[in-house]
Amino acid sequence: MRLAAAIFALAVPAWAADVKSLEVRILSTMLTDSAGVGEWGFAALVTVDGRAMLFDTGARPETVLKNARELKVDLSGVNDVILSHNHGDHTGGLVTLRREYSKALGRAYAGRGIFTSRVQADGAEGNPMLRTRREFEALGGKFVEAGGFAEIAPGVWLTGPVPRKYPERNWSVSGQLRDADGKLSEDNLPEDMSMVVETAQGLVLISGCGHAGLINTLDYAREKFGNRPVHAAIGGFHLFAGSDAHLDWTAGKLKEFGLGHFLGAHCTGIEATYRIRDKAGLDRRRAVVGAVGAGFKLGEGIRPGTIAR
């Protein structure tokens, strides 16, 4: 695994190419629409130039499986899974999906550090990925650790762990990290990573929780691509508990980055999404609370579903 992580940390090439088609469909989040069930979790099917990838796998073992069936989304041809971080509300469906689709969903990308031990307040192990790793690999699945910014398909990049340039604290302290020597430190989700897709309109970000910070992540990604504008930010951004001052600062930076669309699901927060819409100068078509079944299509914008329209 160390070898895989070392290989999977490539420099961004000068010939980076824009994708032609991109569609994102939410399969797990709290708000549901006319089909599917909601939960505290996140998952989305991301299809780029005909290649489908599953970003996160929801919380409960069966949610993504059942929602995909109800939404008539076929996961049988999806091989790659991206896990944004170790929390169970993003990794809970991985093993169930692998069992169901034994010839698919066999390769899981994860940020370096996702398998680090976590210690809960009672001293128990708190990282669900240690058990999930054993079960997934027993089913023939393979993990690839992302040690840096790297391309996994033409125009599709994983950030790997994100530098924390700005003092964003978009996480809730739930335990401590335990390194190989047994030393404990605050668990700030160092493995947190996102997906970045290059398009002619600008960069599209897909995030699970954005624990590294939405602005840290976008700032890091934009530096890799000559500070291109941000066409869309989609997913969870852990802003539900953010102060007005923090949300205003976040919205101001998003406006500075040229944000075109904002689909705030999972832990983004309803009020936070509306405040960002207002402060970033967007309208109700371009800043929407994400629901199960909702999504985004390049060239069309956000498809909000019925409840969030």
Which tens digits make up the pLDDT trace of 152-166? Answer: 999 999 999 999 999
- Position 255 scores a pLDDT of 98
Exposure string of 218-232, with b = 16+ CB inside 10 Å and e = fewer, is bbbbbebeeebebbb
Output the six-digit token pair for 264.
């705030």
Q: Is 244 exposed, middle or buried (0-12, 13-18, 19+ CB in 10 A)?
A: exposed
Confidence band of 174 (pLDDT split at 50, 70, 90) = confident
d(CA 1, CA 19): 30
Contact 161, 174 (CB under 8 A): no
* Between 121 and 213, residue with greater pLDDT: 213
For residue 223, the model assigns a pLDDT of 97
Say what the pLDDT of residue 265 is: 98
Say what the pLDDT of residue 172 is.
Answer: 82
Q: How far apart are CA 98 and CA 214, in angstroms?
A: 30
Partnered with residue 303 across adjacent β-strands are: 295
What is the model's pTM? Answer: 0.95
* Domains, the chain, ordered by start: 2-12+20-298 (3.60.15.10)
Q: Is 98 helix (H, G, I), strand (E, B) or coil?
A: helix
CA 126 from chain centre, in angstroms, equals 21
Q: Cα(179)–Cα(297) distance, rounded to whole angstroms?
A: 41
Question: Residue 135 has what DSSP assignment?
Answer: H
pLDDT for res 130 = 98
pLDDT in tens, 31-87: 999 899 999 999 999 999 999 999 999 999 999 999 999 999 999 999 999 999 999
pLDDT at 206: 99
* 257-291 pLDDT per residue, tens: 999 999 999 999 999 999 999 999 999 999 999 99
197 close to 156: Cβ distance less than 8 angstroms: yes
Which run of H or of E encompasses 297?
strand 295-297
**Contacts of residue 6, Cβ cutoff 8 Å, sequence gap at least 6:** 147
What are the pLDDT digits (tens) for 2-35?
Answer: 434 444 544 444 445 699 999 999 999 999 998 9
pLDDT in tens, 88-136: 999 999 999 999 999 999 999 999 999 999 999 899 999 999 999 999 9
Query: What spatial distance separates the first Cα and last Cα of the chain, rounded to whole Å?
Result: 44
299 has pLDDT over 80: yes
Give φ, ψ of 65 to 5 degrees: -60, -50
Give the pLDDT confidence of 214-234 residue by residue, as tens digits: 999 999 999 999 999 999 999
Token readout for 53 is 């990838």
d(CA 27, CA 11): 32
DSSP 183-218: -EEE---TT---EEEEETTEEEEEESS-TT-HHHHH
pLDDT surpasses 70 at 1: no
Give me the residues paired with residue 47 across strands: 23, 52
Closest CA to 264 of 250, 244, 245: 250
Distance CA 122, CA 109 (A): 30
